[in-house]
Every structure is written in C-alpha cells, then in structure tokens.
Amino acid sequence: MKPLSESEIRSSFVNATRGEIERIPLPGLHEVIWENREYLGWRDPQSRLRGYLVHWSGDRPIGIVVRASEVALTRGISAMCSLCRTPQPSHQVSMFSAPRAGEAGRNGNTIGTYICDDLACSLIIRITPAAQPLHPDPLEIVSERAEGLLERVRAFTADIMRPA
C-alpha cells in the first residue's frame, strides 16, 4: 500500500459528513508499515463501535466509516472474516455495517459484512503457513491472500459507493 497523509485520509471518506470526518481520530501514521498493508483499518478509541477503512483505488484513496454491531457472536464457535477469509474464534469477528455514500446513506441505507474485530486483516493474512507438498512456497500463499483481500475490500467499498 502506498503511504497516506492525514489530509489524504480525511479527504478520502465517502460515507461521512464533513463534521464526522473532522472528528475522526487517526492512528499513529508514523508507526504504519505501509508495504505490509492492503488497507489501513483502525477502531475509534473514544467510540469502540466505530471503525475506519482506507485503501487505494487507482491513484485515489477511498475511506469508509464502519460500525460494529452491539451484539456479539455466540462464544465458543468459529466465525470467518469476509474480507481476509480467515476462520477465527467468534469473539475476534464482528458484524460491521457501513452507511452507503450520498443520499442513500443519509436515508439510513447500509451494507453489512463480517470483518476481523480489530480491522487488522492485513496482519492476519501475513501469518506464514508451513510449507506443504501442494503449497511449497508459503510467501506465494501470502501474496495470493493479499490479492484476494484487496479485491474484497475494493468490492465492499464499491458496494457502499453504488447508488441504491
């Protein structure tokens, strides 16, 4: 992922008001290892249910505001993030909804999907699997995971930007 500045991040949001965008707390951008990310995702420390995703689409960053469900998944079962497609314990995956961009979002139209609770899919897909006879190169597997993750993030944000 190409690095993002604070102004690029703030101007990228497609489903938030100007006032909401000004109040978004940004993560420590100096700590981000950009080359190990398909998107930048973080949770709001002041409002635990709010989260943010920003990724590049061509030469333009696209940002979305998401909201975690207040209802947690049942403990003791497995769940799968629909972005990174990693199965995990249910407490590590949450249903997130995002208002659609434009008038549809202002009218309450949202899209939801299950995402890693900490929005750190880029880190999870980089857990290198052990080499196996059918998959001898673990780094190739990580590369395939990264491509799939970015494809699904782009599809999710495209749905949010699509007129209802």
Domain boundaries, the chain: 6-161
Q: End-to-end CA distance of the chain, in Å?
A: 29
Q: How would you write the pLDDT of the chain (164 residues) with one tens digit per residue?
A: 999 999 999 999 999 999 999 999 999 999 999 999 999 999 999 999 999 999 999 999 999 999 999 988 888 889 999 999 999 999 999 999 999 999 999 999 999 999 999 999 999 999 988 878 877 788 888 999 999 999 999 999 999 999 87
Q: Return the structure tokens found at 130.
A: 């052990």
pTM score of the predicted model: 0.91
Determine how β-strand 93-99 pairs with β-strand 40-43.
Answer: unpaired
From residue 113, alpha-carbon distances to 84, 107, 158 in Å are: 12, 19, 14
CB 164 within 8 A of CB 104: yes
From residue 75, alpha-carbon distances to 70, 71, 112 in Å are: 14, 11, 21
Could you tell me where the DSSP H helices lie in the chain? Answer: 6-12, 18-23, 102-106, 121-124, 138-161
